[in-house]
Structure 1
Amino acid sequence: MAERRRRRRNSARNNALPPLLQLLVCLRFFATGAFHKLIGDSFNVSECTVGRCRAVASAIVSVRGDFIQFPKDHKARETKQEFLKNAGFPNVLGCIDGTFVRIIGPSENEADFVNRKGFHSLNVRMVCGAKFKFTSVCATWPGSVHYSRVWRESALCRQFEQGEHNGFLLGDSGYPCRRYLMTPYLNPAIDAQQRFNASLCRTRVLVEQSFGIIKRRFACLQATLMTNPDQAATYVVACVVLHNLGIEKGDVMDKACDAADAYQADHYVHSLQRSRGKPHA
């Protein structure tokens, strides 16, 4: 891993916020998704000052390469062993899926951001490992774009197409089945196909649980991000970086074992067979 760099931003303001306070303001926004005015009141700073702390999010994103890494070489072997041990599925490098993150309607190309559920959003594609850590994220696509296209035009897809990774991903039926991307049978006709679907489902639910963990940890991803799409994408990636950092440091977290996630795991096979795997909210 590259040496982790410190980031310092120069300011010409007479009473600029100390870097630590800027970080705390940014983290409060990520954790609550509250309006800037409310966050400003809790720190005794102005609403505009809270808004300017978005530079902290950009600084966090600048080190994404240190924390969001798709496994290669020995890391890939470790990832496969983790999936085999924890989920019983061999030769897996990750589970892939998409999720919607709400934003306000942008002034340009507003209709492009209206998703199939009728609200404005980004369509965020992520890949997770066996321990809820995200190894790939793309947050730049508008909500109306189907996530199979988001995957098809990604750098990671090109890497798999070119044979750079020895292993495969697990996806739902919204993705095309490829030699490196395993998806469930839409209409399983025999017991073997049904058992395959059930096994894939039990493993692929990890990405659903990972979405649940990061959205509970960073409530701004559940609320509506009141900013433009580019800045919203920066917030999303910054939250992923912090999520992965928390896992690396052994931070205590909810491992998605509450009743809602238990229900999701129990019924996920049936939902896969009923639908074509559109992005999850």
Structure 2
Amino acid sequence: MICNEKHEFIHCYVGLPGSVHDNRVFRYSGVQQKCNDEYFLENTHILDDKAYTLQKHLMTPFIDNGHLTVEETHYNYVHSSTRMTIERAKGLLKLRWRYFKDKLPMRRTDLIPHYIIAACILHNICLKRQDYFENVDEILLPDEVGDVGPLDATNESKAAGATKRENLVTILNRDVEP
């Protein structure tokens, strides 16, 4: 799932079971195929966790091996704080449709992906109509990718991602006092 700052889902992929590793799902979802300058204009990118491969349009945190600089630690903090938007979006989805909190009472497992996508669309409609929960803080893009195999990040994109992340570290730490 990918969401925007308003907690609206802008991409959902339900083509693999939940036990598959996140990075593998990403490679099959069609998003990797769109991680290029055509779809990510200006200096835009997706934030994701350390399970993913750093690349030009996919920013990951620095891996903390005990040797991070203060600036890298600050970057990781801001990255994590911002990335929590998707966790809040999923939490709102589970609040609206309580069946997602445990298990779906469905006998036809082939319909579960359709149920999930429908709930995500309804979630977005609720947000657009300002149907919010009192105690809680674009309609889905079609999956045009079809049946494609996995796509790994190119070395060029990985190098551009490293450069971009270093630039973000610099920008985020300009106003931070030592």
TM-score (norm 1): 0.44
Give the Cα–Cα distance (whole angstroms) in 1 for the partners of residues 17 and 87 of structure 2. Answer: 20
Deviations 1:150-192 (A, max 9, x none): 1112222201146422220000111111110001111151100
One-letter identity of the residue aligned with 2:29? S
Counterpart in the other structure of 1:251: 131
Q: How many pairs align? A: 132
Q: Give 1:96-135 correspondences, 5 Å limit.
A: 126-135=1-10
Q: Give 1:9-158 correspondences, 5 Å limit.
A: 126-158=1-33
Deviations 1:98-127 (A, max 9, x none): xxxxxxxxxxxxxxxxxxxxxxxxxxxx00
Counterpart in the other structure of 1:239: 119
Q: Give 1:255-274 correspondences, 5 Å limit.
A: 256-257=136-137
Structure number with the higher strand fraction is 1
Aligned-residue sequence identity (percent) comes to 27
Counterpart in the other structure of 1:210: 89
Over 3 Å off, 4+ runs: 254-257
TM-score (norm 2): 0.69
Is the 2:35–2:58 contact (alpha carbons within 8 Å) kept by the matching residues of 1? no
Counterpart in the other structure of 1:196: 75
Counterpart in the other structure of 1:174: 51
Q: Radius of gyration: which is bigger?
A: 1
Deviations 1:47-105 (A, max 9, x none): xxxxxxxxxxxxxxxxxxxxxxxxxxxxxxxxxxxxxxxxxxxxxxxxxxxxxxxxxxx
CA, structure 1 residues 178+255, in 2 after alignment: closer, same or farther (shift >3 Å)?
farther
One-letter identity of the residue aligned with 1:194? T
Is the 1:170–1:200 contact (alpha carbons within 8 Å) kept by the matching residues of 2? yes
Give the Cα–Cα distance (whole angstroms) in 1 for the partners of residues 127 and 23 of structure 2. Answer: 28
Flag the structure with more relative contact order, 1 or 2, with Cα contacts below 8 A and sequence separation at least 6.
Answer: 2
CA, structure 1 residues 201+137, in 2 after alignment: closer, same or farther (shift >3 Å)?
same
Counterpart of 2:98 (choices 213, 219, 237) is 219
Give the Cα–Cα distance (whole angstroms) in 1 for the partners of residues 31 and 23 of structure 2. Answer: 13
Q: CA deviation at 1:252?
A: 2.1
Aligned-residue RMSD, C-alpha: 1.7
Q: Unaligned regions of 5+ residues in structure 2, if any?
A: 138-178
Is the 2:15–2:29 contact (alpha carbons within 8 Å) kept by the matching residues of 1? no
CA, structure 1 residues 255+181, in 2 after alignment: closer, same or farther (shift >3 Å)?
farther
Counterpart in the other structure of 2:140: none
One-letter identity of the residue aligned with 1:133? E
Give the Cα–Cα distance (whole angstroms) in 1 for the partners of residues 10 and 46 of structure 2. Answer: 12
